[in-house]
Chain A
Amino acid sequence: MSTTEPAPRLHGSRCDSCGNVAFPVADGCQRCGQQVMQPIELSEHGTVWGFTVQRFAPKSPPYVPPADGFAPFAVGYVELAEGVKVEAVLDCADFAELEGQAPVRLTAAAPVPRFEVVA
């Protein structure tokens, strides 16, 4: 891992016609059906809209557990300034930190979006 890697960013689309923001990148607008969408970078900061805790190891495949084995993790939706709520893995020291629209920061864009609680 290089320390000079660019900061992760999420890429979405904004509809030319109605302004709706989609994630991931889309070629048609779910709201108005128009097909002219502009690529945009989404906010790196947001708030936790809702979450749960994955208490059991998902079926493998397709799940690939971390090298040190499965541990329960939080998954939820992060509301961004653009209005869209993005599904993400949520990192925190204690799951209770995610309550109350906790502010979070993007830490990875792939394989799925990943955010961590801002201290």
Chain B
Amino acid sequence: MTGVSIVGAGLSAFGRQPGVSGREMAVQAIRSALVDAGLEWSDVQIAFGGSDGSGLADTLVAELGLTGIPFTNVKNGCATGGSALVSAVNAIRSGSAEIALAVGFDKHGRGAFAPLPEEWGLPVGYGEAGLMVTTQFFGIKIARYMREHGITAPTLAKVAEKAYANGTLNPNAWRRTPMSADEIASADMVNDPLTRFMFCSPGEGGAAIIVASEAVATRLGGRPVSLLSAVTRTRGFGTFEVFAPAIQGAGAPTSVSTVAAAAAFDAAGVRPDEIDVLQLQDTESGAEIMHMAECGFCEHGEQEQLLEKGATLIDGSMPVNTDGGCIANGEPIGASGLRQVHEIVTQLRGEAGDRQVPGTPRLGFTHVYGAPGISACTVLAV
């Protein structure tokens, strides 16, 4: 238990926004979160945030107002939003602030990311030979996983079909056109067994979360959501990651997601089977399937039957990525982790409209995974 509440959550639009900078999306997200919380920018006492390639978060004060607060830049790949949120939570817990902001944003160009081998500590030969392609990692990992655990290709297509279907119910999603599993499965193969419609695309967007002490949350009224835990981890020995020239250690690779999720559940005092609505990193279809088991929501291999039963649909027993996830919203690296938290906050408040999970969801979970082996998880409650 952190004793910290989320009092405001905001997003910019996601998807292509010609003429709008990543910084402008961040400002939109922050202003939206402030309105949601019933606060002014001058009420925020400390801030943390960042983007992967769209500018420094602390420069946003030029637009927001020069209130003089401490504003720390975060650059942690896909965990940028998660790391910013953990820092904001710790600022509240330490007593150094009562109201804190976490923000993440990015605006990526079209096409795959184009990483340089030297920035990853690899010889230039890896680029010349055609191995600096992020999608290869996902293909290799899920292809082996399918062989080991009996997951079939139609199940991969089902994950993407759900993402596009949920996107049609989310007015803020980038991809809002449904796509059939057949169309997804028969599209061009990118890296076997993954087709082009199974991958998320680098995208655009901003997301902001405002946290406060419980005393302030009570004083504000509103619709606070308790942040039971927020955890980030870097990889331990023996994991399998993007751009790894080798996997060290004998036996099966370990997973940083497993470690981060277990720590988040432990800190929250909650079990995975108690979670009513969840967000799992869906860089591609296979990632969502593997993360279901890595984060403790099922056994390895059980996903095949769970998806057959529709368990991860909005009205299923464990709704996953109700807003369409990265596949329907795109992947602005800095923003995605906080976009996930925004969606769970929206679901727990019962404000998700056409994509609202039925009943009265009480507990939610978010998980991001990214290079070079990082994970950030949260457990939320109302």
Contact = CB atoms under 8 A, between A and B. Distances in A.
A30 B237 contact: yes
Contact of B127 (A52, A63, A65): A63
A55 B141 contact: no
A85 B131 contact: no
A59 B113 CA distance: 10
Nearest to A10: B246
A52 B286 CA distance: 13
Contacts of A30: 237, 248
Interface stretch (B69-77, B186-194, B314-322): B186-194
11 contacts: A12-B246, A23-B248, A31-B248, A52-B192, A54-B130, A55-B192, A83-B250, A85-B246, A89-B131, A112-B125, A112-B129
B227 interface: no
Counting chain A residues whose Cβ lies within 8 A of the other chain, the interface size class is 35 or more
Given A31-B237, A110-B125, A22 B246 contact: yes
A30 B248 CA distance: 8
Given A54-B130, A111-B128, A62 B116 contact: yes
Contact of A62 (B127, B136, B144, B248): B127
Could you say which of B123, B128, B188 has the most chain A C-beta atoms within 10 Å of its C-beta? B128
Contacts of A112: 125-126, 129, 131
Interface in B90-149: 111-112, 114, 116-117, 123-133, 136, 139-141, 143-144, 147
Could you say which of B126, B193, B244, B245 has the most chain A C-beta atoms within 10 Å of its C-beta? B245
B61 interface: no
B129 A61 contact: no
Given A12-B246, A50-B140, 18 more contacts: A22-B248, A24-B245, A30-B237, A31-B237, A50-B143, A51-B140, A52-B143, A54-B130, A54-B133, A54-B191, A55-B192, A62-B124, A83-B248, A84-B248, A89-B129, A111-B123, A111-B125, A111-B126
Interface of B: 111-112, 114, 116-117, 123-133, 136, 139-141, 143-144, 147, 188-194, 237-238, 244-250
A85 to B, nearest CB: 4
A86 interface: yes
Ordered nearest first, which 9 A-B pairs have the shortest CB separation?
A: A111-B125, A62-B127, A52-B139, A83-B250, A50-B144, A23-B246, A85-B247, A58-B130, A52-B191
Interface string A60-95: 011111000000010111000001111101000001
Contact of A21 (B114, B193, B248): B248
Interface string A29-71: 0110000000000000000011111111111011111000000
A32 to B, nearest CB: 8
A75 B114 CA distance: 18
A61 B246 contact: no
B144 A75 contact: no
Given A52-B192, A55-B190, A62-B116, A20 B128 contact: no
Contacts of B244: 87
Contact of A52 (B124, B140, B245): B140
B249 A83 contact: yes
